[in-house]
Chains A and B, each alone.
Chain A
Amino acid sequence: MASGNPVLEAVDQTLKQRRPPLDVVYEWVSTPDHKKIGLMYIGYALVFLVIAGLQAVVMRIQLAVPNNHFVSPQVFNRLFTMHGTTMVFFMGMPILFGFANYLVPLMIGARDMAFPRLNAFSFWISAFGGLLLYFSYLGGDGLYGAGSAPDVGWFAYAPLTAKVFSPGHSTDYWTLSILLSGIGTTGTALNIMTTTICMRCKGMKLSRMPLFVWLMAVTSFLVFVAVSPLTAAQIMLTIDRYLGGHFFDTQAGGSAILWMHFFWIFGHPEVYILVLPAFGFISEMIPVFSRKAIFGYPAMVAASVAIGFISLSVWAHHMFTVGLGPAGNTFFVFATMVISVPTGIKIFNWLATLWGGKIQFKVPMIFSIAFLFQFLVAGLTGIMLSAAPFNWQLSNSYFVVAHFHYVLVGAIVTALFGAFYYWYPKVTNRMMNETLGKWHFWLFIIGFHLTFDFMHVPGLLGMPRRIYTYEAGRGWDTLNLIVGIGAIFQVAGILCFVWNMLRSYYYGEIAGHDPWDAWTLEWATPSPPPSYNFAVEPVVSSRRPLWDLKHPEDPDENYE
């Protein structure tokens, strides 16, 4: 770790000394360091991943056989509401922001985010939003007047959320926790945008930024634009519920459709907010494990930006069944189909990066390849659903549930697992175990396909989502049982993953600063990076600064 600078070495020494536990806690809760905040984001998201995952398992047990009485309808409705809300707002966004917090400054050669204190504030306000949501459970029925957990569905269609249909306070917990999370994510998005614009090191032109940073910049732009309408809608809903407003109060002339527009103009960009960072992970991992530069970098950037813009104009494809009329429907069919063009460009460019490479099947890479395959399927069912007549039949059926879980789990979570294996050595200076990693991969992927491949079929057979039970004899029984069995495999896979992370922290092979022979700046600094990231501010002259160092005879800058 010799930085060659006696002052910094002294700082390193001080940081290494053992300190009383309370000091350590104090340091973590008060830290403005982007790496610590990133890790807290990830840790907190993993806790919610486990909670919301268990909720899904309970739902699958309930649906495994027809006419089951494992949980009551009320409990089931709370389960799917909490599962969706948690996974989107308190698992998906925080974990991706966690990675962004950790990696963006390192990748662009900065010492921290542009606004470190805003960063800490954003994290804590989001975290408290999650705790507030779950406090609704602890409040219990009537106890402390807190009501029970929300049961209005994660998109909480008006007027089901009106006071007359949802008395009690559970809906208020939902509204307020999302309001808080919205403030936190907006803050972080602002921070990431500013950081990518203002904090790049010397030579790091926009056209040389790693693709992950580009994708996080687009994501942050989307968060900025899309989360605000949701926050506004939550305020309007609260006004309806407590101050006699009538925005969504259909009995007094309000509009149920208005809520749908507000929600989905957030809700559809949200899908891209979650998937673009996953594209970022894949765009970093595939080149390194194929041993080739990314194919068509400018096209990749352009496609990302195009996806960002187009994704703002497709929201009403969630509303093909509310009677928008032929003109509205055709517009949103077109916008939705068009987004498959830049997405296709990305898939082809990843394929072309593999082409002619020397592919190393390390754990991050096998997750990346699974991502490519699963994202392809998810994209294609997406094209099917974008055709409005198809959608009239399958909207709100299990086909849709299978489709978006293919995106969220098959693409995003799969890419995330790859990212964990890829950057874990940077954070801990330990490698994660390859054998356990392969167990994790195979168990999880088998479980994923059992669950979500078979989930398409009951949808085609007419099974709507969000039903707590169903009658025998509709042809849904066996399929739902298989779906439930898949969940067991996924849980087993996740157990391997958690065990692998814990075990490797103590016993993993020492990684060194660049275990994958990679090319971006985060691998140029020690593992784990010191609090100041880089002892000397780096200067870059191409997209792959470490390639240039390793191959001085043939540097990248000759080709850009």
Chain B
Amino acid sequence: MLVLGVTAVIFLVVGGLLLYAVIRFRHRESDSKREPPQIYGSNQIELSWTVIPILIVVMLFLSTTRVILETEAAPKPASALDVTVIGHQFWWEFRYPKLGVVTANELHVPVSDPAKPTPTYLEMTSADVTHSFWVPRLAGKMDTVPNRVNTMWIDPQQPGLYLGQCAQYCGTQHAKMLLRVVAQTPEDFARWIDQQKKPAGTDLSGNAAAAEGQTVFMHSACINCHTIAGTVATGRFGPDLTHLESRETIASGPIENTPENLRKWVADPNVMKPGALMPSMHLSDHDLDVITAYMTTLH
């Protein structure tokens, strides 16, 4: 904020001088034909407008350095939550290594009480190209660079939904690589974690369509890219689907998670998000129906 204040003052002073000079020293009809007095320079004046800016720069630099150190070199409290963020073309993978939870696109974190902070420390990398994790209301951005681990932390103090998105151009669907961060009370967060830890329910005896959908899913290429915990599907190229229905959106944010949208998405992802890397599996209408039925059981 100091930076804003300083630049605003400079703007007013220099802009004002410019305006004054332009009005005061404009050529008037009544002026004599003579050229104005020629002034070639003045060491004192020039020295003053060299030294004053240097002082301003030193002041700004010192205050900036303090903020950099406070942010980047802040000691990590023992109560911090660890999350690994992995950028993919064009979605986000979130892993909670100490809790054994894996999810996608919607990051759940506990709100932090200033008296007893529980910030979330993010270890970030990328599976393919460089992305950037940016949730403007929580923190600045940090790039996720392949072959490299970056760290940053967030410390939300109000429960709620925080929107963000990828901020480093990463290919065709960079625009729809959205991010949702859900900050929850510690109790809600614990409940969410418990739910996420469970494997997918395999007892589908009461739901014939879903049971058939599961069979279709497990016998097609879906399992090469997607994981559903507790089944043979262990692919890691696409988002983990174990608790797909606990997410509000699909396709990394832009599409609401409803059975109709899911069906449309599976039929051909490129219609809803042209350039998405998930291919159309050319499923029949019947297969699409049963797969959608199966998907909606993944709570």
Binding site for B on A (CB under 8 A): 72-74, 77, 151, 153, 157-160, 165, 250-251, 253-257, 290-293, 295-299, 321-323, 325-326, 329-330, 333-334, 337-338, 340-341, 344-345, 347-349, 351-352, 354-361, 369, 372-373, 376-377, 380-381, 383-384, 387-393, 395-397, 461-462, 464-471, 474, 551, 554, 556, 559-560
Contact = CB atoms under 8 A, between A and B. Distances in A.
A396 B3 contact: no
B190 interface: no
A425 to B, nearest CB: 20
Given A352-B45, A396-B167, A295 B143 contact: no
A237 B71 CA distance: 35
B246 to A, nearest CB: 22
B18 A397 contact: no
A449 to B, nearest CB: 14
A448 B261 CA distance: 42
Contacts of A554: 38
Given A322-B143, A359-B22, A359-B26, A462 B164 contact: yes
A340 B15 contact: no
B18 A369 contact: yes
Contacts of A464: 134, 165-167
16 contacts: A74-B172, A77-B169, A157-B168, A291-B27, A299-B50, A323-B143, A351-B14, A354-B22, A354-B25, A373-B15, A383-B7, A389-B64, A396-B132, A461-B136, A464-B165, A466-B174
B143 A321 contact: yes
Interface of B: 3-4, 6-7, 10-11, 14-15, 17-18, 21-22, 25-28, 31, 35-42, 45-46, 49-50, 53-54, 57, 60-61, 64-65, 67-69, 71-73, 89, 128-130, 132, 134, 136-137, 139-143, 145-148, 150-151, 163-175, 254, 274-275
Contact of A351 (B18, B128, B139, B164): B18
Contacts of A467: 165, 174-175
A383 B3 contact: yes
A329 B68 contact: yes
B168 A380 contact: no
A74 B275 CA distance: 8
Given A159-B128, A165-B128, A250-B147, A389 B141 contact: no
A357 B174 CA distance: 53
A61 B148 CA distance: 38
Contacts of A322: 130, 143, 145, 150
B27 A257 contact: no
Contacts of A556: 38
A59 B176 CA distance: 17
Contacts of B140: 321, 389, 391-393, 395
Given A292-B39, A296-B46, A389 B67 contact: yes
Contacts of B10: 380
Contacts of B21: 351, 354-355, 359
A69 to B, nearest CB: 10
A340 B60 CA distance: 12
Question: Which of B15, B37, B60, B274 gathers most chain A CB within 10 Å?
Answer: B60
B141 A396 contact: yes
Question: Which of A326, A469, A474 gathers most chain B CB within 10 Å?
Answer: A326
A471 B254 contact: yes
Contacts, number: 243
Given A334-B61, A467-B175, 7 more contacts: A165-B129, A250-B145, A347-B14, A359-B21, A390-B3, A393-B141, A467-B174
Contacts of B61: 330, 333-334, 337
A358 B33 CA distance: 10
Interface pairs A-B: 8 shortest CB-CB: A392-B140, A467-B175, A323-B150, A462-B136, A296-B41, A250-B146, A250-B147, A380-B7
Contacts of A338: 57
B4 A384 contact: yes
A237 to B, nearest CB: 14
Contacts of B53: 340-341, 344-345
Given A329-B72, A330-B65, A290 B38 contact: no
A256 B149 CA distance: 12
Contacts of B169: 77, 153, 157, 160, 465-466
Nearest to B141: A321
Given A345-B50, A351-B21, A293 B148 contact: no
A122 to B, nearest CB: 31
A291 B27 CA distance: 10
Contacts of B146: 159, 250-251, 256
A321 B142 contact: yes
Contacts of B57: 337-338, 340-341
Contact of B41 (A151, A298, A341): A298
A384 B41 CA distance: 31
Contacts of B275: 73-74
A80 to B, nearest CB: 8
A255 B7 CA distance: 37
A376 B25 contact: no
B18 A157 contact: no
A250 to B, nearest CB: 4
A324 to B, nearest CB: 10
Nearest to B145: A256
Given A297-B41, A466-B169, A349 B68 contact: no
Contacts of B18: 351, 354, 369, 372-373, 376
Contacts of B64: 330, 333, 337, 387-389
B49 A297 contact: no
A77 B90 CA distance: 15
A388 to B, nearest CB: 5
A303 to B, nearest CB: 9
Nearest to B72: A326
